[in-house]
Structure 1
Amino acid sequence: MTPRAPNSEELERKRRARELMRADRQGVLVSSPFLGVLAMRLELVPVIDSRVPTALTDGHTVYTHADFWLQLNEAQRLFVLGHEIWHCALQHFARRLEREPWRWNLAVDHEVNDLLMREGFKPLEGITHFERLRGQNAETVYEELSGSTKLPERDPRLADLHDPPGPDPNAPVQDPDYAPRQDPEIWRSWETRVRAAAQQAHAAGTLPGWLEARIAAAGPPSVPWQRYLQRFIQQVRGGGTRWLPPSRRHWGRGLYLPSRRTERLDLAVAVDTSGSTVEHWPQFRAELGGILRTCDDYRLRLLQLDTRITNDHVYTPSQPLPEALPIHGAGGTDLCVPFKHLEETPPTALVVMTDGFGPIPDQAPAYPVLWALTPGASRKPGWGKTATMRATGQS
């Protein structure tokens, strides 16, 4: 069978769907100014194509089957459009790494749908949402679903496609307007777009506090942790396994990811939660998320400190780092404290997030140390590796 292009009747349905999609973008802007600003950065393209039963995005464009769009009411269309925007804003396709696709699809759909419901969008009946996991991010939901003997199904009549289908000689109708791009670099641009949209909505007073905190927690780290950890930790000693070499299968996509041989990223992080760093805490939380997204399996020992250790906790995929991580401290600063605290149980490696105020040990410990410094840090330590975080909104 030779695939055909849409006929004249189908082209008329595409025209009607295109008009609706343009109006729906304005509807999203009214319902959620933050999402509406992001919607302006996406092309909206209805198609009549057998490969696209519902909707999908490649980071550049939202494609929808025209007939699917025409059968939805306005509230449903806004929900679906918001769903695709959030997939881009949260960079779900770049965050998957080596995770099992089906479980990850459920996890990211839950995260998106939960956010939309909290913003007041009316959900479609039968969408993926786990009531017991309200407020949890995709990584947490993914791990929670790992113990399920039978994963729930995604309703094919409603579920969007997470992997844009390519050429298919067996698809009877193929629309020339359907032309998804394979562009890994697009997700880098979404980091900047999300920060800009959040700043704009915050300045206008239209960004809810809970959403601002959520964006900061799940938002992009300013430090390229894949590269820094590759240089900083040449060998993770947990079980004698190596974090290197990277996975070659991802090189063609422009991604530098750990190989399947990775067993665990074993790392300690000391966060300076003294009074002088409180304003930097959202960025510290984003950097912690960036570290954890470098590896599927990890053991993160997180220390919080001011003039003493105020909190010492271990996080793993089964006990993940919470998004709303409370600050313990806000007093003075003594950066000698974490090294004294770790003398009896030295870590494989230590990352210290700080503004550099306060005393620092004269000598380096036996394990490697990376100082992650805030913008404008008062001074750089005389030993160890250093990385400087970007100022908020800086490219």
Structure 2
Amino acid sequence: MTAPLSIHCRYPNALELRDKQQMQEELTQLRSDMLLSQPFVAVLAMRLKMVVVVDDRLPTACTDSQHIFFNLDFMRKCSAPQRRFVIAHEVWHCVMGHFLRQQQRDQQRWNFACDYEINGILSYFFKRDDLPNNILFDQNYRGKSAEQIYTLLGKLPDNEWTETYYQPGNRLPAGGAQFDQHQPDLSMPDLEEFKIDPDFRPQSPAEMDVERWREFTAAAGQVTGITAGSFGADVQQVIKNALKPQLNWPTLLQRFIQRTISGSYQWHKPARRYLAQGLYLPGRQGQCLRLTLAIDTSGSTLQDLPKFLAELTAILQGFEQVQLQVISCDASITDVSFYDKSDLPALTKWQAKGLGGTSFTPVFHYIADEPDHVGIPNALIFFTDGYGNAPVEAPAYPVIWVLSPNGEPPVKWGEVLHLQ
């Protein structure tokens, strides 16, 4: 009989707690000093709580848009210029809203693209010799968005993603050029003995964080004069892009869906084997996303339908559990079908039924009176040109009107998304 694996985990000891406090004070002072050398970044860094941890789940640093978490050992190995770089790097992840821009992209390639974008921005703010020489940087990517860089990386062999910017100077004490942890990981490390810090409690970024950081960025620009022409044209464009990001309609649709399920994860009971050691280690379990998709088959919308269904399918594939009710309608309900996650590929081959006049009211009556397989949905997505009758009052669940080009929203309630 195989003996059970013995796993030992512990909290920081007294010496580590003392060192954490000392590092916390050093980083706080460093952030204050940056008000003179890099006021724009420093003002934004004031919006984040800096937390030093002794935790094997965090090898370097990360941010959740509310905190910057630093691994104590990593920061002890960093010089003062390197610490300034790490702080600025995490701040710019928040400014650029990377935590909600990934969509269904490959995580590793997206993380590399984000770092290329951020480090290109930091090359405008740091002197050449102050940039670490083992970070992801390419002169050709300066001024490009993470989405553009992601596409360019996809055209390269995988082993070329880690091409770095080498120059005379310092090296970050990290194992790779992509040094920081973009999505904080609370899973247990594959170690028989590991350290875990109760102060490492990253929050799940939300849609409101994007708007919050846009406001922070605008305010910091005014306070420091960066938006008043005191910096070069390249920096001006960077700030402009941060304040007015160009989001395509699939991104906006995904954000709407994410909001309806409140983040798609919930905390559940910890594993019993850790309770004996006095540790509460939460896990995450997925919720089921229940959506209703209503498709107006009156005719003018159908040429845009295949692309819309392809994008919607890609978005829904990112959820653990999906129940989708598809209602075909013109002047009345013409068909109702159901899909779970395994059925989603067939959604791209959906065929319209009906093609008569248009009325949206029967869809809302159907959901209220005959909820069928999915029950009252988390949200209703209505694909239409908007020309038809709709209820005067909004239902209790969220609704988004996905309008074909030149379409018009039929009512003043609900969110509106134009296919452009």
Question: Aligned equivalents of 1:261 and 1:55: distance in 2?
Answer: 42
Distance 1:260 1:59, change over 3 A: farther
Question: Aligned equivalents of 2:45 and 2:15: distance in 1?
Answer: 29
- From 215, 227, 240, the counterpart of 2:306: 240
Shift in Å at residue 25 of structure 1? 1.0
Question: Aligned equivalents of 1:109 and 1:139: distance in 2?
Answer: 12
Question: Aligned equivalents of 1:135 and 1:222: distance in 2?
Answer: 14
* RMSD (Å) for aligned C-alpha atoms: 3.9
CA contact (8 A) 1:48 1:65 kept: yes
- Taking the TM superposition and a 5 Å limit, the aligned residue runs for 1:200-215 are 200-202=223-225, 207-215=231-239
- Give 1 or 2 for the bigger CA radius of gyration: 2
Residue 217 (structure 1) aligns with: 241
Deviations 1:55-80 (CA, angstroms, capped at 9, x unpaired): 00011100011111111111111011
Deviations 1:257-282 (CA, angstroms, capped at 9, x unpaired): xx99999xxxxxxxxxxxxxxxxxxx
Q: Does 1:90 find its partner at 2:96? A: yes
Shift in Å at residue 148 of structure 1? 0.6
- From 150, 163, 167, the counterpart of 1:142: 150
> 2:244 is paired with a residue of what secondary structure?
coil
Distance 1:210 1:131, change over 3 A: closer
Shift in Å at residue 220 of structure 1? 3.5
- From 132, 137, 157, the counterpart of 1:124: 132
CA contact (8 A) 2:214 2:242 kept: no
Identical counterparts, % of pairs: 30
Distance 1:220 1:260, change over 3 A: farther
Residue 180 (structure 2) aligns with: 160
- From 51, 55, 75, the counterpart of 1:69: 75
Deviations 1:291-330 (CA, angstroms, capped at 9, x unpaired): xxxxxxxxxxxxxxxxxxxxxxxxxxxxxxxxxxxxxxxx
Which residue identity does 1:95 align to in structure 2?
A: R
Q: Does 1:190 find its partner at 2:199? A: no
Shift in Å at residue 44 of structure 1? 0.4
Which residue identity does 1:146 align to in structure 2?
A: G
TM-score normalised by L of structure 2: 0.55
CA contact (8 A) 1:2 1:169 kept: no
> 1:25 is paired with a residue of what secondary structure?
helix
TM-score normalised by L of structure 1: 0.58
Residue 272 (structure 1) aligns with: none
Question: Aligned equivalents of 1:191 and 1:146: distance in 2?
Answer: 29
CA contact (8 A) 2:99 2:205 kept: no
Deviations 1:157-208 (CA, angstroms, capped at 9, x unpaired): 5600011011417561001111111131323311211122122223776554
Q: Does 1:175 find its partner at 2:197? A: yes
CA contact (8 A) 1:56 1:164 kept: yes
Question: Aligned equivalents of 1:30 and 1:44: distance in 2?
Answer: 19
Unaligned runs of 5+ residues in structure 1 are: 253-258, 264-348, 350-366, 372-385, 388-395
Deviations 1:194-251 (CA, angstroms, capped at 9, x unpaired): 12212222377655443222221343359995269999x9757369332474734668
